[in-house]
Structure 1
Amino acid sequence: MEKVKIAILGFGQRGFVYANIIKEYPDEMELVAVCEINPVKKPLIMNLFQIPEDKYFLNDEEFFKQGKLADILVISTMDRDHYRQAMIALDLGYDLLLEKPISIEREEILAIAQKAKELGRRVAIAHVLRYTAFYQKIKELIQSGRLGKVTTISQTEHVGYYHYAHSYVRGNWRKADVSAPMILAKSCHDLDIIRWLVDKKYLSLSSFGSLSYFKEENAPEGAADHCYKCKVECPFNAVEFYSKNPLWMMIFSLEQDPVKVLSDESLSYSRCVYKSDNDVVDHQVVNILFEDDITASFVMTAFSNEIHRSIKVHGSKAELEGDLEKSEIILKPYGKEQEIIDVRQFADDFSYHSGGDRQMLVDFVRNVKKGEKVSGLTDIENAVESHYMALDAEDSRLAGGKLIPSTYLKVLEK
């Protein structure tokens, strides 16, 4: 059987994840080309994934000049590059697996969806949570009627203090005007999972949030500008963190010695978390009204010890609560014994977003191979509304929590 050929544009952490999954399915898919702007990564990527010299590119201009090199193009570049690259790729005939967010502009989101429809191309968005056994089981419980009429959903994304410091204080997503607002860059798939579970259109929302802690006024007395020369004991010390977590350092350097790397003061990852140039929020709440009088709340917080997601769903017959990383759901029927559901019985793989990355990629590849829909859980037409939710939430936050009527409904009215 002929394998589906895949190219990856942008080989950061997400690119590595997809490449590793592709490698595990040699009979179904093959990585045939890579485009990555960081030249330091080239020898490692070529060696690990057997990419020939003439199929490795250091900029997207050279990559796109080659025409169509694969059946599927994975776009896992920075947020503000997605629109331009997606539009070029669609014209070249690629089916796309596009990392979130689709774009930071409403008009560009719709333009990609429209072009894909006109050209008959498939575009899947990396809303991987829909593919996890955890959220699929919650969806099944809601649809079965065991909760009765759903009234409220509460979802919390606990980003993790170290992950937030790495990506959103020191890393590529620290400035909204360079990447995207936090609610879009990090949390649009949390809003998407709420929308998927509710299965109703949102009518209005409001949001509050700010960058309240990771700024200079909160720096400990005597804190240095860069961690390698700081005497203050701190949970955010970069040298200590990357020494204990070398795989995280590989995202920005292949050098083995953290002290050597982080002595470079031009490197954003060496900075004190209180003295960086970050401006994205470190906590945000969103309150949403859906059709059928269903309400939902979402909380994103940097202030957690571990990276995990938790959820509560309240219905007229029962409530449930669960934790994605624990793979556990507790169903509490009113007046009856609670039921603890171990989600691990429903899937074999819980790596890479609790198995969601793998299931999404495999589903999309098989979709393309067969030329028909397998499940299409994250097709672009299913992802547009949650992106509008995120953009509306950011507009509300910037307006001090103003109630914003759904801008997505206005699109549907046209």
Structure 2
Amino acid sequence: MKKKYVLVGPGGRAEFFYGAMVRDFQETCELTAFCDVNQTRMDYANKLLKDKYGTNPVNTYKAEEFEQMIETEKPDIVIVTSVDRTHHRYIIRAMELGCDVITEKPMTVDAEKTQQIIDAVERTGREVRVTFNYRYAPHNTKIRELIRDGVIGQVNSVHFEWALDTQHGADYFRRWHRDKRNSGGLLVHKSTHHFDLVNFWLDTEPEKVYAIGGLRYYGRENAEERGVTQFYSRAHGSEIAKDDPFAIDLESNEHLKNMYLDAEKEDGYHRDQSVFGDGINIEDTLGVAVTYKNKAILTYSLNAYLPWEGFHVVFNGTKGRIEAEVREQSYINSGGDKEDEGKLHSKVLRVLPMFGEPYEVEVEEKEGGHGGGDPVLLNDLFGVPEEDEFNRAASHVDGAISILTGIAGNVSLNTGQAVYIKDLVDLKRK
């Protein structure tokens, strides 16, 4: 029997979900409506449904008509891909109106909203799924398998470095993410993926968090050091922007033009703001130390202005060490080629036994983004899920403990003190 879906927030990431539903899961899914603050953006999503996927347009509802949409469409599941700070509003109201929820990460942006979602799950008995596609990438699943099987014994420490290049990394400083109220900053919006991976790899939860960092590259305060002497607020229509390697031209990219430039007349949102402009209050250089319930420790760094994209992670155990390095393609929202999104340029996974010869572990990749992980996630969400020995499907609790590392990090940045996760929320474990 088909399940009915509606989607809130058909912006840059939403097509990952609704495109898959109408292309690959017509036997199990029926998409019936979009909901958004911007009618132009919904109309463009409907145009993609018709022209790209060959399906009929769906009904559209403005944000203030959300409850009317639920009453009219009677969906089984609401997909939430709106601006991060609004996730909790739609997640909670959807559950109160009798729907389950699939939400893009991060589930929300601060401790108060996290608690509200947890309380709503407890109150309504509905289900919230958080879409962590990195769990499904074959190399990440293989790391989980190696650790689970005791290949390097008990893992005592992890060092995890994530690099965002100057295409992808800069993009967070052009758009709504640059305001921490919208996104929780990179420790929440981006690092939630990474903190979830550590929870997943080690099969444990964070206990205490300490963070340092700041805005060291982007922003008006760093412009002079970067050699920037002329300023603009947004790239479109600016002569100065034509000489800025960090500027994006919305008009030259048909997708970005339709999605953002043509939609400005409704909400005034500028997708192409200067990365050296005013109003940026998120960090681009971050370091975090975390202790876990199983006594493991993590040292983590994130930098958003590097010459390559990907991550390097090492696990130090009582029987040896695992080293992994993955280089990736930049994300489409910065104007890249959509067909290359999540493409792995190179990867190395190596085991160094305590008293043996190091060896590399082969990882089989399949078709699709993130080494073939994305199709598995999408099938988990919209198809007939296969039995999964790694339990990669993420609940609201998984979503909470991933963002709480970043939320605790934000508190630590403000106070200069280590923060205990238990002091932030009550997860209401039974």
- TM-score range (shorter-chain normalised) is 0.7 to 0.9
Change (3 A) 1:234 1:332: farther
Q: Distance in 2 between matches of 1:38 and 1:21?
A: 22
The answer to whether 1:322 aligns with 2:324 is yes
**Aligned counterpart, 1:311:** 313
Task: In structure 1, give the amino acid aligned to 2:182.
Answer: V
Per-residue deviation, 1:267 = 6.5
What is the TM-score with the length of structure 1 in the denominator?
A: 0.84
Per-residue deviation, 1:355 = 4.1
**Aligned counterpart, 1:337:** 357
Is the Cα contact below 8 Å between 1:392 and 1:407 reproduced in 2? no
Q: How many residues align?
A: 393
Change (3 A) 1:40 1:231: closer
Aligned pairs for 1:76-225 within 5 A? 76-166=81-171, 168-219=172-223, 220-225=227-232
Per-residue deviation, 1:198 = 2.0
**Aligned counterpart, 2:337:** none
Q: Deviation per CA, 1:79-109: give whole Å up to 9, x if none.
A: 1211111111012221110122222332432
**Aligned counterpart, 2:67:** 64
Is the Cα contact below 8 Å between 1:125 and 1:383 reproduced in 2? yes
Change (3 A) 1:248 1:164: farther
Change (3 A) 1:171 1:4: same
- The 3-state SS of whatever aligns with 2:321 is strand
- The 3-state SS of whatever aligns with 1:173 is helix
- The 3-state SS of whatever aligns with 1:13 is coil
Deviates more, 1:220-229 or 1:189-198: 220-229
- The 3-state SS of whatever aligns with 1:309 is strand
The correspondence for 2:408, drawn from 392, 395, 403, is 392
Task: In structure 1, give the amino acid aligned to 2:28.
Answer: E
Cα RMSD for the two superposed structures: 3.0
Q: Distance in 2 between matches of 1:70 and 1:231?
A: 45
Deviates more, 1:311-320 or 1:22-31: 22-31
Q: Distance in 1 between matches of 2:93 and 2:77?
A: 13
Task: In structure 2, give the amino acid aligned to 1:32.
Answer: T
Aligned pairs for 1:175-324 within 5 A? 175-219=179-223, 220-225=227-232, 227=235, 228-230=238-240, 233-239=243-249, 247=255, 251-253=259-261, 268-324=270-326
Q: Distance in 2 between matches of 1:341 and 1:331?
A: 7
Q: Distance in 2 between matches of 1:27 and 1:97?
A: 19
Q: Deviation per CA, 1:393-413: give whole Å up to 9, x if none.
A: 11111123x222333687369
Is the Cα contact below 8 Å between 1:288 and 1:295 reproduced in 2? yes
Is the Cα contact below 8 Å between 2:13 and 2:81 reproduced in 1? yes
Change (3 A) 1:328 1:374: closer
Q: Distance in 2 between matches of 1:254 and 1:26?
A: 30
Task: In structure 2, give the amino acid aligned to 1:348.
Answer: K
**Aligned counterpart, 1:258:** none
Q: Distance in 2 between matches of 1:300 and 1:135?
A: 18
Q: Deviation per CA, 1:152-195: give whole Å up to 9, x if none.
A: 112222222222222x2110111112332321122112111112
Task: In structure 2, give the amino acid aligned to 1:172.
Answer: W
Change (3 A) 1:107 1:215: closer
Task: In structure 2, give the amino acid aligned to 1:223.
Answer: Q
Change (3 A) 1:297 1:235: same
Change (3 A) 1:222 1:35: same
Is the Cα contact below 8 Å between 1:33 and 1:69 reproduced in 2? no
Q: Deviation per CA, 1:352-396: give whole Å up to 9, x if none.
A: x444443333213357x99xx994630112222222221111111
Q: Which runs of 5+ in 1 are unaligned?
A: 256-260
Change (3 A) 1:410 1:106: closer
Q: Distance in 1 between matches of 2:414 and 2:257?
A: 33
Q: Which runs of 5+ in 2 are unaligned?
A: 327-343
Is the Cα contact below 8 Å between 2:115 and 2:425 reproduced in 1? no
Q: Deviation per CA, 1:199-231: give whole Å up to 9, x if none.
A: 233332210010112122433254242553128
Task: In structure 2, give the amino acid aligned to 1:195.
Answer: N
Q: Deviation per CA, 1:233-268: give whole Å up to 9, x if none.
A: 5431334xx58866555542359xxxxx9xxxx864
Is the Cα contact below 8 Å between 2:111 and 2:425 reproduced in 1? no
Change (3 A) 1:374 1:74: farther
What is the TM-score with the length of structure 2 in the denominator?
A: 0.81
**Aligned counterpart, 2:336:** none
- The 3-state SS of whatever aligns with 2:350 is strand
Per-residue deviation, 1:273 = 2.1
**Aligned counterpart, 1:348:** 366
